[in-house]
Amino acid sequence: MAMPASPVWLITGCSTGFGRELARLVLAQGDRAVVTARTRERVADLVADSEGRGLALALDVTDDTQIAAVVAAAEAEFGRIDVLVNNAGYGYQASCEEGEEAAIRDQFEANVFGLFAMTRAVLPGMRERGQGHVINLSSVAGLIGFPGSGYYAATKHAVEGWSDALKAEVSPLGIAVTCVEPGPFRTDWAGRSLSQTTTRIDAYRDTVAARMQGTSEGSGQQPGDPKRAAQAMIDLVANPAPPRHLVLGSWGVGKVIEAFETRLAEVREYRQVGEATDFPESERH
């Protein structure tokens, strides 16, 4: 079923970055939107001049009670949710060896389990209406693991795999699923949504430590424009056949193409080894 001309959006993590830019553009073009952040005051300004088309709510995606309340409020206010944008989340950098257990688990709670719970809460309404679009903010790190980002990449890889299964289940029901995978964008992500381990092992100086330093020093100089990224997400919803993946930014597109071509070449190189592990034809029953 085609998306309504003026869809209702529910966007998580709207206090800054992609979520904020997307909320601004969605409301500016006349759509209705529920915009959320952990603290409502951080997003109240987004809906101040929306003439009743915007609803600002507090939401911690790790809190099931708040998730249920936000979905209920959205459906009570606007009658439905057409587009869910799972944007809330944050980064954590550490070598795989130095990862801190509490920090790792907290990141999975927000980036993975919160996203799962948010989607489960919205799907019944979409399924009943036979239409909807779930957009999950992933990352180039959801497709490629980089030094220092093993645990962050693990959360985004989890979202990617889950989204594959979700798409297979809900596409026949009229619901689209897209992962948006940004590379470096000028969202101040390093300054506001990134934590780094406090421990340092010298053996990782030239890999993990170098990349962590580069992430901090390069903040504010990234080539990606958040406003153009937000517009690309709006265009996704208007697309009658939206893609499963949308990699954003020239750096990210280049890295993903290179990585996938290398991966495919490796699979082909070892194809005979892999296929030889089947039972022989004569032994299959």
Q: How far is CA 113 from the centre of its chain?
A: 12
- Which stretches does DSSP call E strand in 80-198? 83-86, 91-93, 132-137, 175-182, 194-196
CA 60/CA 93 separation, integer angstroms? 22
C-beta of residue 19 within 8 angstroms of C-beta of residue 87: yes
118 in Cβ contact with 67 (< 8 Å): yes
- How many residues make up the chain in this entry? 285
- Asked about 138 being catalytic, the answer comes back as yes
Residue of 138, 139, 149, 163 with catalytic role: 138
Options 152, 163, 204, 255, the catalytic residue: 152
E strand or H helix at 159, and its extent?
helix 150-170
Listed in sequence order, the residues at least 6 apart from 108 whose beta carbon sits closer than 8 Å to its beta carbon are: 154, 155, 158
Question: What percent of the chain is helix, strand and coil (3-state, nearest 5)?
Answer: 55, 15, 30
Residues pairing with 134 in the sheet: 84, 177
Identify whether the C-beta of residue 212 lies closer than 8 Å to the C-beta of residue 148. yes
Cα–Cα distance between 112 and 37 in angstroms, integer?
17
Q: Say which residues have a Cβ less than 8 Å from residue 68's Cβ, sequence separation at least 6.
A: 121
φ/ψ (deg, to 5) at 122? -90, -30
Q: How many Å apart are CA 6 and CA 176, to the nearest integer?
A: 17
Q: What is the gyration radius of the CA atoms in the chain, in angstroms?
A: 20
Which of the residues are catalytic?
Answer: 138, 152, 156
